[in-house]
Amino acid sequence: MTALHDTFQRPLRDLRVSVTDRCNFRCTYCMPREVFGPDFQFLQRSELLSYEEITRLARIFIQLGVEKIRITGGEPLVRANLHELIRMLAPLPGLRDLTLTTNGSLLRSQAQRLREAGLQRITVSLDALDDDVFQSMNDAGVTVDTVLKGIDAAREAGLAPIKVNAVVKRGVNDHGIVELARHFHGTGVIVRFIEFMDVGTTNGWRLEHVVSAQEIAERINAELPIEPVERSYPGEVAQRWRYRDGGGEIGIISSITQPFCGDCTRARLSPEGQLFTCLFGARGHDFREPLRNGASDDEIAAMLRRVWSVRDDRYSEIRSEETVGLPRVEMSHIGG
């Protein structure tokens, strides 16, 4: 397996597959309702890559070094029969890690069949335990209890490890950081706190809304003493911390204050088959057209080599007042 490297010698290891641009939430930092309202033109079914097309691309990408696939969205569980895609991807030779990121609201009814289809582990977004705060952030009237019941169903189904992602926005939910850590302390669930990012162009991001990774760690350490842990592999997104009392781990994702572009091994496939080489990319590379116009596996592989070998993305390292307003793809379109 000839691993592909970009202009910074970063291998392609990690493919994030967004299976839909739709979501049943309207999180203010990702898909604000005033933009993604009733008149918003979402992709039509015929525009979406089919599960067969996604699986064919995945097989080719794995042959070029991808080892980990994360299914994302929008909200992936709103796409019909998602377990069928998992069933197609799970047996692919060379795929070491198959996971999924969800808002958890539909997980209770789907966890078992996702596990049976071959899903190994799962990440659930939960930004707060306080229902008013959570609902003000998801803007969809979904309760914390609904998501917690989804997490319980994932645990009962045997999905492990379970990670919980919480985007931290100053003045919105940062007062609940320790409460969230305490709730999952000793449960085996790993909470990952995410610095609020200037993703897309619709979330009104400003630096003063960011609570830094260091401040998050200090707040938790003051109540639940923690110590740093080595990253488990190069390119791992989260800084790892463990509780000194053996109560497990937390993670902190610090794209703003401690960028990690240096060993970023991630590519993102949009629902309509555009490949983005950075979360903050403005333009993707169309793989649907060749897929649907008879291109061979070798031709598609050659296309991927061309795209990745010239990759020079490192947005988080060059972020500045000037770059924040630049046009870029919406996170809800290509997943986090």
Interface contacts to ligand SF4, rule CB under 6 A: 260-261, 264, 266, 278-280, 313-316
Q: For the CB of residue 262, give the shortest distance to ligand SF4 in the complex, in Å.
A: 8
CB nearer ligand SF4, residue 8 or residue 40: 8
CA nearest to 329, candidates 289, 277, 266:
277
Q: For the CB of residue 32, give the shortest distance to ligand SF4 in the complex, in Å.
A: 21
CB nearer ligand SF4, residue 110 or residue 316: 316
CB nearer ligand SF4, residue 138 or residue 254: 254
CB nearer ligand SF4, residue 117 or residue 238: 238
Residues 6+ apart with CB under 8 A from 221: none
Please name the helix (run of DSSP H) or strand (run of DSSP E) that holds residue 102, with its range, or none: strand 97-102
CB nearer ligand SF4, residue 26 or residue 328: 328
Q: For the CB of residue 185, give the shortest distance to ligand SF4 in the complex, in Å.
A: 28
Q: Torsions phi, psi of 154, nearest 5?
A: -65, -40
CB nearer ligand SF4, residue 90 or residue 261: 261
Query: Which of the 8 DSSP states describes residue 19?
Result: -
Q: Cα–Cα distance between 129 and 243 in angstroms, integer?
A: 20
Q: Counting every residue, how long is the chain? A: 336
Query: Which of the 8 DSSP states describes residue 33?
Result: T
Q: For the CB of residue 178, give the shortest distance to ligand SF4 in the complex, in Å.
A: 27
Question: Which residue is listed with tokens 């070491």?
Answer: 96
CB nearer ligand SF4, residue 192 or residue 314: 314
Question: Starting at the edge strand that comes first in sequence, how are the strands of the sheet with 122-125 ordered?
Answer: 226-229, 239-243, 249-253, 190-195, 162-168, 122-125, 97-102, 68-72, 14-18, 266-269, 274-276, 285-286
Q: Which residues pair with 143 in a beta bridge?
A: none
- Residue by residue, what is the 3-state secondary structure of 219-256? HHHHHCCEEEECCCCCCCCCEEEEECCCCCEEEEECCC
Query: In the numeric block, which tokens belong to residue 185?
Result: 């302390």
Query: In the numeric block, which tokens belong to residue 146?
Result: 């609904």
Q: For the CB of residue 246, give the shortest distance to ligand SF4 in the complex, in Å.
A: 31
CB nearer ligand SF4, residue 92 or residue 261: 261
Contact 182, 224 (CB under 8 A): yes
By three-state DSSP, how is residue 297 classified? helix
Q: For the CB of residue 8, give the shortest distance to ligand SF4 in the complex, in Å.
A: 9
Q: For the CB of residue 27, give the shortest distance to ligand SF4 in the complex, in Å.
A: 19
CB count within 10 Å of CB 144 equals 20
CB nearer ligand SF4, residue 211 or residue 253: 253
